[in-house]
Amino acid sequence: MSSRTFEDKQPQPQQAASGFEFLKGVGQVAGGTLLSVTMLTSSIVAGGLVGLAVSFRNLPDVRQLRSFLPSETTYIYDIKGKLLSSIHGEANREVIPLDRISPDLKRAVLASEDSDFYYHHGINPKGVGRAVVTNWSAGGVREGGSTITMQLVKNLFLSHRRAFTRKIAEAVLAIRLEQILTKDQILEMYLNQVYWGHNNYGVQTAARSYFNKSAEYLNLAESAMMAGLIQAPEEYSPFIRMEKAKEQQKIVLNRMKELNWITQQEYDKALKQPIKLGKIRSFQGSALPYVTNAVAHEIAKKFGREALLKGGMRIQTTVDTNFQRMAESTVKRWHEILSGQGLSKNQIALVAIDPRTHFVKALVGGVDPKTSEFNRATQALRQPGSAFKPFVYYTAFASGKYGPETVVYDTPVGYRDGSGWYYPRNYDGGYGGAMSVRTALKLSRNVPVIKVGKAIGMNKVVETCRTLGILSPMEPVTSLPLGAIGITPLEMAGAYATFANYGWQSPTTIIVRVTDSSGNVLLDNTPKPLQILDPWASAAIIDTMRSVINDGTGKNAAIDRPAAGKTGTTSSEKDIWFVGTVPQLTTAVWVGRDDNRTLASGATGGVMVAPVWRDFMLKALKDVPVEKFKSPYQFSRPKSN
């Protein structure tokens, strides 16, 4: 750089004579330059204004906020209203009306963020001026000058990258928004939209997380601490830095005092008020994972995953928490017992249904949801073995050609099946000759049920299963009556529950009702039973299955009250079952291995699963009155086709 001074640059004495010409020339050049600069500046300003005009024309339409629905957390409750789980996407939010938000919190937020909120029209020149002075004094950005309206449109429409153009866009959108919404509407939207830390969006989820209470009941001390979080939620979080949170609380209280919104006495009291923290809730697991996972799957299937994650649904399930936990503890206990009996790596699924409503009362998808989220009650397609036989005999009863005392023959037989011959065998390898259907079922004989199935038509059996709501794939093959197909425990329990209700059925469900966050009903599963099966045939199959427990393969399931059921054991002992019912409760229990290997040689449903069913039912029915099944004679027998 040159070391010459300003004086060194002035014209020298010998140049003075020509100074006028020099100045004139300079003037001409300067005039031309000034004109050029002026024209250039005008062009830039004009271009900038045109650019801004185009930019503003392309800004989002704030009118859509009239019908704006923020993403909200979905909550799942048990039958008595106990919270089981919350499900959300990125934003954990519960929307709450402005009149249900603590006045202290509203004042604290306004004092901290925009004390002139109710007096400006979207932008606040006084606030901008104050921010400039504050930032100048601090030597950096300490205050933004944004109004609450500007913050709201930034959160909803704009990126958070700091830029001059973004601030202008904020201002324009804020002015537009103030023209279509009231101040209260804007404040309500802001308080429900703003981020409060730890994945809490909106005042309600934040209040429940930080202080374990509704935003409606926050006191001044809690409100000031909450308001102080907005600028840097995680940095000032009382869960992480209580001292920082207290500093922010004091700043907010000071501002409220300066504004004469609180008295000195209120200020002092709030500073001394003990803060009792809640706990971070946003990423908590479910209280009953198998139940809530089944609910989430059903809701996503019906309404879509987006609605589940962001729709703010309130889902009431059919399950009572205490009853479900009793079922889970029963499963865990019997897992250990069966492991000790040689059934290593066993898994257990249990589904209990009220046959009068088809409401699921308990749903256990495995031994431990912490080690495996796979829900075997609803997702595992396992062979039911002989537990399938009642579907065949019901179909025979409904045809009018068979009854519980009809004679069938347990004798050798062979059928051409596909390219070869199929020779059904009984579990013990022998044959029993002539016997009643009742005896054939209670002793779980294989040959008679196949003969009956062939006589009435396997297509009719498949049709019965579909009517009962069993949707799992099945073909009308000769071996179908022996349960060589995949069925879920939920499907089995639902089908037996329909028998127990004499053919009346509502869709099996784990959900009572679904509403949105405003209480509007989205789904109502109030039972609307339809008669889908023949009542006499249903009562007859229940009566026949009573013999299974009274003096058949299910004797280990006896519970000192009228009960009907059926054991199930597949070839190679891979799946063992007991499905049974009383008039008030139907329960299916399955035991098997996830790798589909043999449990143990000689493992049967009657020996190893019936006791599990019995243990659960005794607990479940402890305070339930004994009720008898209706006799088949109370219904008209169908005429033979």
Q: What is the pLDDT of residue 36?
A: 46
Q: What is the pLDDT of residue 158?
A: 56
435, 437, 441, 447 alpha-carbon torsion, rounded to 10° = 70
With contact defined as beta carbons under 8 Å apart, do 505 and 362 qualify? no
Q: What is the pLDDT of residue 76?
A: 93
User: Each residue of 333-345: pLDDT tens digit?
Assistant: 999 999 999 999 9
With contact defined as beta carbons under 8 Å apart, do 529 and 503 qualify? no
How does residue 452 score in pLDDT terms, banded at 50, 70 and 90?
very high
Q: Which residue has the higher pLDDT, 345 or 200?
A: 345
Among 118-127, 240-249, 360-369, the range scoring the smallest mean pLDDT is 118-127
Q: Span 49-66, mean pLDDT?
A: 53
Dmax of the chain from CA atoms? 144
Q: What is the pLDDT of residue 369?
A: 85
User: Each residue of 321-337: pLDDT tens digit?
Assistant: 999 999 999 999 999 99
User: Each residue of 417-431: pLDDT tens digit?
Assistant: 777 888 999 988 999
How does residue 85 score in pLDDT terms, banded at 50, 70 and 90?
confident
Predicted confidence (pLDDT) at residue 45 exceeds the cutoff of 60: no
**Alpha helix locations (H) across 10-92?**
19-57
Query: Per the structure block, which two tokens stand in for 416?
Result: 């051409």
Residue found by looking up tokens 């901290």 in the block: 112
Q: What is the pLDDT of residue 306?
A: 77
Answer left, alpha or beta for residue 103, where phi above 0 means left and psi between -120 and 50 means alpha. alpha
Q: Span 18-23, mean pLDDT?
A: 31
How does residue 231 score in pLDDT terms, banded at 50, 70 and 90?
confident
Question: Which of 361, 541, 355 lies closest to 438 in space, CA to CA?
Answer: 541
328-634 under CATH 3.30.70.270, yes or no: no
**Confidence (pTM):** 0.72
Among 54-63, 322-331, 420-429, 594-603, the range scoring the smallest mean pLDDT is 54-63
Query: Per the structure block, which two tokens stand in for 254?
Result: 């000071």
Cβ atoms < 10 Å from Cβ of 371? 8
How does residue 386 score in pLDDT terms, banded at 50, 70 and 90?
very high
**DSSP class of 344:** T
How does residue 146 score in pLDDT terms, banded at 50, 70 and 90?
confident
Q: What is the pLDDT of residue 50?
A: 42
Taking the C-alpha atoms of residue 183 and residue 187, their distance in angstroms, rounded to an integer, is: 6
Q: What is the DSSP string of 550-596?
A: HHSTTGGG--SS--EEEEEE-GGG-EEEEEEEETTEEEEEEEE-TT-
Q: Span 572-598, mean pLDDT?
A: 96
Judge whether 386 counts as a catalytic residue.
Answer: yes
Q: What is the pLDDT of residue 1?
A: 38
With contact defined as beta carbons under 8 Å apart, do 255 and 115 qualify? yes
Alpha-carbon distances, residue 55 vs 58, 173, 175 (angstroms): 5, 12, 16
Question: Which of 313, 101, 107 lies closest to 207 in space, CA to CA?
Answer: 101
Q: What is the pLDDT of residue 56?
A: 53
User: Each residue of 158-178: pLDDT tens digit?
Assistant: 544 544 455 677 787 788 888
Backbone angles phi, psi at 577, to 5 degrees: -135, 160
Backbone angles phi, psi at 522, to 5 degrees: -100, -30
Q: What is the DSSP string of 222-238?
A: HHHHHHTTTTSTTTT-T
Q: What is the pLDDT of residue 195?
A: 83
Question: Residues 94, 113, 222, 491: which is the catalytic one?
Answer: 113
User: Each residue of 253-292: pLDDT tens digit?
Assistant: 999 999 999 999 999 999 999 999 988 765 566 889 899 9
Q: Share the mean pLDDT of the chain.
A: 85
Q: What is the pLDDT of residue 524?
A: 97
Predicted confidence (pLDDT) at residue 12 exceeds the cutoff of 50: no
Q: Where are the domains of the chain?
A: 89-272, 328-634
Q: What is the pLDDT of residue 163?
A: 47
Question: Which of 573, 548, 572 lies closest to 562 in space, CA to CA?
Answer: 548
Q: What is the pLDDT of residue 54?
A: 44
Q: Which residue has the higher pLDDT, 155 or 9?
A: 155
Q: What is the pLDDT of residue 132?
A: 52
Predicted confidence (pLDDT) at residue 64 exceeds the cutoff of 70: no
Write down the CATH number for the domain with range 89-272.
1.10.3810.10
Q: What is the pLDDT of residue 15?
A: 34
With contact defined as beta carbons under 8 Å apart, do 537 and 604 qualify? no
User: Each residue of 477-504: pLDDT tens digit?
Assistant: 999 999 989 999 999 999 999 999 999 9
Q: What is the pLDDT of residue 394?
A: 98
Using only C-alpha atoms, what is the Rg of the chain? 38
Query: Per the structure block, which two tokens stand in for 331?
Result: 């499963």
Strand partners, 435: 408
Q: What is the pLDDT of residue 591?
A: 97
Predicted confidence (pLDDT) at residue 23 exceeds the cutoff of 50: no
With contact defined as beta carbons under 8 Å apart, do 603 and 576 qualify? yes
Beta 511-515 vs 314-317: how paired, if at all? antiparallel
Taking the C-alpha atoms of residue 112 and residue 573, their distance in angstroms, rounded to an integer, is: 70
Of the chain, the percentage scoring pLDDT greater than 70 comes to: 83
First CA to last CA across the chain, in angstroms? 114
Taking the C-alpha atoms of residue 505 and residue 495, their distance in angstroms, rounded to an integer, is: 9
Q: Judge residue 640's burial from the number of C-beta atoms within 10 Å of its C-beta, 0-12 exposed, 13-18 middle, 19 or more buried.
A: exposed
**Alpha helix locations (H) across 311-354?**
321-340
Question: Residues 286, 386, 399, 444: which is the catalytic one?
Answer: 386
Query: Per the structure block, which two tokens stand in for 572?
Result: 């190679």
How does residue 398 score in pLDDT terms, banded at 50, 70 and 90?
very high
Taking the C-alpha atoms of residue 464 and residue 499, their distance in angstroms, rounded to an integer, is: 12
615, 621, 626, 627 alpha-carbon torsion, rounded to 10° = -100
User: Each residue of 528-567: pLDDT tens digit?
Assistant: 999 999 999 999 999 999 999 999 999 999 999 999 999 9
